[in-house]
Amino acid sequence: MQREIYEKLLDWNKNENHKPLMILGARQVGKTYIIDKFARENYKNYYMINLFERTDILEIYQSNINSEEKYQKLKVLLDFDLEKEDTILFIDEIQESEKIIADLKFFCEKHPKINIICAGSLLGVKLKRSKFSFPVGKVEILTLYPMNFLEFLWAFKEEKLIEEIRNSFKNNTALLKPIHEKALNYYRMYLITGGMPESISSLVKAEKDILRYDENILKNIIESYFKDMDKYVTSNNEALKIERIYHSIPSQLANESNKFQFSKVHNGAKSRDYLSSLDWLLASNMVTLSSLVSVPEIPLKGFMKEDTFKLYINDVGILNQLLEIKKSDIWLDNLSLYKGVITENYVANQLESLGYSLYYWQSNGIAEIDFLLYTEDGIIPLEVKASDNVQSKSLNVYIEKYKPEYSIRMSSKNFGYDDEKKIKSIPLYAIFCLKEI
């Protein structure tokens, strides 16, 4: 599978003074695969350690000897010259040893010629439960998300379709109807599979036959998320709270209040009782948070309301599994009221993968803008429509009040541009083009 993060790995490799690199992300998003591919293709000498399997290495780092002594004993165990030219060490499941994480500072300062990439979950560190200090400033960090729609098209070798989409985006010209319909079909497929590599691989093997696609893959991923949770929670009560929040998100996305409400997680629930559980979900990258801003001005983070936000599931395919929606209803567009919820979650996932922080805006119940993008052209409002009905009362209110450089409306309609209102119409399948703004 081709991934955008690969180019960032190449950039890291080109920098002669690079620090140890950590790749973070939710389970099953392809961290191990892409690092292994990168290491094999770009280094002559490569050694991989999986800390789930190497208890002998864990024992070394649990001992009370100093960092240099640990390193010398590590070399004996590996029988591998880590400082040899054109060599890389990949440490997978690094969360199994907080002491190895802490010792990345030692490698950065004392053995800077060693190329190290790590992958895993850092829940303990993020939730401040680690007993050892995180090597702040001594490691580089990248986050890998589920495969976005561009990577989905790459999986089906649709480079020519991608080029057509990019040209239409650049020139504000509509695609030919058959090409537009082809792209929409791929979009519907993506809503079914989501971006988990194993899920997409199933559809590739099925040669795009939705009936042969194995939806049990996503069910198993959801189950694995909560099995993994048991390693990090402090009690059964905490685990229960995390699951309650997670399973409430699909229904809360349809809240009339347009915000996440702890009171709807469980009868009598209060935010103070669930904040640490929410932190867990955010730290695990299983959910994404979008903050309400009082004023859509630069910097958006300076105007956000910390107690008012939306939560999205990290992958639209997983969202549809949680909602128990049949793949045939997605393919045949039989979603009715929940179509908007699914589409908005899809857009949130894609924007996050493009590097955008998520913010939205409301005006006293009169109007709401789904997303605000901080770009070179200032704050750009993005309105999401699930179908080709593009009535835009909220967007009109926003434009009249704040007069942005231009606005974006995403829907199932073809490309277009409203010269009078300066609204750029972009099909949902072309969201990856927003990286260019």
In tens, the pLDDT along 323-351 reads 999 999 999 888 877 899 999 999 999 99
Q: Quick one: 228 and 353 in the same domain? A: yes
Mean pLDDT in the chain?
Answer: 92
Residue 269 is assigned to a structural domain of this protein: yes
Local confidence band at 128 (pLDDT 50, 70, 90 cut-offs): very low
Whether the predicted pLDDT of 404 surpasses 90: yes
Q: What is the pLDDT of residue 130?
A: 56
CA distance 437 to 434: 5
Q: Quick one: 139 and 215 in the same domain? A: no
Domain boundary (125, 143, 161) is at: 143
Q: Quick one: 139 and 217 in the same domain? A: no
CA distance 383 to 389: 12
> Which runs of consecutive H residues, i.e. helices, occur in 15-94?
31-42, 55-62, 67-78
| CB-based contacts of 427, cutoff 8 Å, min separation 6 | 165, 175, 180, 183, 184, 187, 410, 411, 412, 413, 414, 415
Q: What is the pLDDT of residue 132?
A: 64
Residue 199 is assigned to a structural domain of this protein: no
Kindly report whether the global pTM for this prediction surpasses the value 0.75: yes
Q: Quick one: 365 and 249 in the same domain? A: yes
Residue 149 is assigned to a structural domain of this protein: no
Residue 288 is assigned to a structural domain of this protein: yes
Q: What CATH code is carried by the domain that includes residue 116?
A: 3.40.50.300
Q: Quick one: 136 and 271 in the same domain? A: no
More confident residue, 348 or 270: 348
Local confidence band at 392 (pLDDT 50, 70, 90 cut-offs): confident
The number of distinct structural domains making up the chain is: 2
CA distance 198 to 218: 9
Q: Quick one: 219 and 80 in the same domain? A: no
Q: Which residue segment(s) compose the domain that 98 sits in?
A: 5-143
Token look-up 């290495």 returns 57
Shortest CA distance to 292 belongs to which of 283, 301, 284?
301
Q: Quick one: 70 and 219 in the same domain? A: no
Q: What is the pLDDT of residues 146-183, one digit of tens each?
A: 999 999 999 999 999 999 999 999 999 999 999 999 99
Q: What is the pLDDT of residues 180-205, one digit of tens each?
A: 999 999 999 999 999 999 999 999 99
Residue 148 is assigned to a structural domain of this protein: no
Residue 161 is assigned to a structural domain of this protein: no
Residue 292 is assigned to a structural domain of this protein: yes
More confident residue, 44 or 391: 44
